[in-house]
Chain A
Amino acid sequence: MFEHFGLKDLFVGLWKYKIIILIVTVITTILLSVVYIKKNTLGITSDTDSFYTENLYYVNQLNNETNEITIDGANKKSENVGQMIATVLVSNVFKEQIFLNMFDQYTDKEIADKFSLQVNRDAFDAEQFFDNIGYKVDNNVGVIKVMYTTNNEELSNFITEESNKYVEQLNKELFDKVEVNNLGNTIVDKSNGVFSQESTISKKILLVIVMFSFVLICIVIFFIILFNPTINRRSDFAEYGVDVLGEIHVKARKEN
């Protein structure tokens, strides 16, 4: 079956399906981009989540030569302190700390009434809960953005307060190395119809998606032409002892 297949035949086949490759690449790129953006879009994870919150912090690294600092009792190396703080903010430890503080301040009944949360202190999974409310931290150009959605405004306020407390604590611990400024906390009530959110896709990711789509369709085309080989040149007819009396190219057909 594969005796008729060679590298030239592969290129002939790819050229033959060029329009399909182009269209499918574009469509796949659009679909994958939409999926990527949706997956990385925060705040709109559930129709029942009515409050979208953004907390912005500016990280000013006071000493550029400092590449080793202590956060949460552990020495960590990084050229980007903002990235490190963002990592802590999205960590399980930090999330659990939020709820430990909540349990310290409120009883189960108060938590249920105030935050609309039914919690079991003995088997509480902060990570799972944060997955449900759509929590994410971004770190770009020294600005850390903590974003999340909840269905309870009090809960949004509580998480914001805990984030701010953590940042204040960082300022005290790393006063000679890093200065973290709170640029503002915004809670948007989506139920009033004022919610809007930016979501973008970087050029690098887009390029990867385009390349992935292109390679994917090329692989599919490869198998199509591998299992359905075509006669692509004069010598292919010669294999059967058949003469080629004439060759008329596509351009000639159109001109006629």
Chain B
Amino acid sequence: MGTSKYKVSKGQKSKYEIEQMICEVRELFDQKDTFCVGISTSTKLRDNKRFVFDCIAEHEKNNENGIYCIDIDEKEINKKDLEKMRNNHKYIIVNLPPISISSEAMEIARECDTLVLVEKYAHTKYSEFEKTLAIIKQENINLAGVISA
């Protein structure tokens, strides 16, 4: 995703940004033949990650073939649960705690096909981001990209 393909007015910009972000996430599933995407962050700003997750969940809740959203803060899941879900859902997004501080999140992230990090400009520290990238590399997790929120 580069700069905006369409010109939008200032008032429309906010909703447009969210719609565009959801489109990009959907493309992850379509282009890379992905079943499960994990959403995590390298910072302690979980609210931003929760916001992105909620946006996607809200958008997809009435979609018959929509993305199934799981928040592991609310519902504990394991590798077997994910396998079962493969049979019932086409796409899954899992809201994960920061993988640098949660071993449970790390376990689930390994089972995801790809991972998306939600970061915030001027708040995500280089040190935290580098630490998360090192873990992702070490655990051989596929990182799709970053959403800045």
A244 touching B21, Cβ below 8 Å: no
Q: Say yes or no for B126: interface residue by CB 8 A criterion.
A: yes
B148 touches which of A12, A240, A246, A256 (Cβ 8 Å): A246
Residue from B21, B117, B122 within 8 A of A232 (CB atoms): B122
How many residue pairs bridge A and B at CB < 8 Å? 101
**Chain A nearest Cβ from B92, distance in angstroms:** 17
CB contacts (< 8 Å) of B5 on chain A: these are none
Q: A255-B15, A256-B55 known; A246 and B21 CB under 8 Å?
A: yes
Q: Does A203 contact B (CB under 8 A)?
A: no
Contact with B along A240-251 (1 / 0, CB 8 A): 101111111101
Assembled-state Cα–Cα distance A41/B123 (Å) = 45
* Measured CA separation A142–B25 after assembly (Å): 77
Identify the A interface with B (CB < 8 A): 4, 12-13, 15-16, 228-234, 237, 240, 242-249, 251-253, 255-256
Residue of A nearest to B21 (CB): A246
> How far apart sit A249 and B147, CA to CA, in the bound complex (Å)?
11
Give the docked Cα–Cα distance between A69 and B121 (Å).
Answer: 67
Do A256 and B18 form a contact, CB below 8 Å, given A4-B126, A230-B123, A244-B1? Answer: yes
Q: How far is the CB of A12 from chain B (nearest CB, A)?
A: 5
Interface residues on B, range: 35 or more
Per-residue A-contact encoding for B110-149, CB less than 8 Å = 1, 0 else = 0000001101011111110110010000000001111111
Inter-chain contact B122/A242, CB cutoff 8 Å: no
- Which residue of A is nearest B124, CB measured? A231
Q: List 8 A-B contacts (CB under 8 A).
A: A240-B133, A242-B133, A242-B143, A244-B148, A246-B24, A248-B147, A248-B148, A252-B17
Q: Which residues of B contact A (CB under 8 A)?
A: 1, 13-15, 17-18, 20-21, 24-25, 28, 48, 51-52, 55, 116-117, 119, 121-127, 129-130, 133, 143-149
Question: Could you tell me the distance between the alpha carbons of A228 and B1 in the complex, rounded to whole angstroms?
Answer: 29
Bound Cα distance from A234 to B121, whole angstroms: 8
Please state if A240 and B129 are interface contacts (CB–CB under 8 Å). Answer: yes
Residues of A within 8 Å of B21, CB to CB, are: 245-248
Contact indicator B14/A252 (Cβ below 8 Å): yes
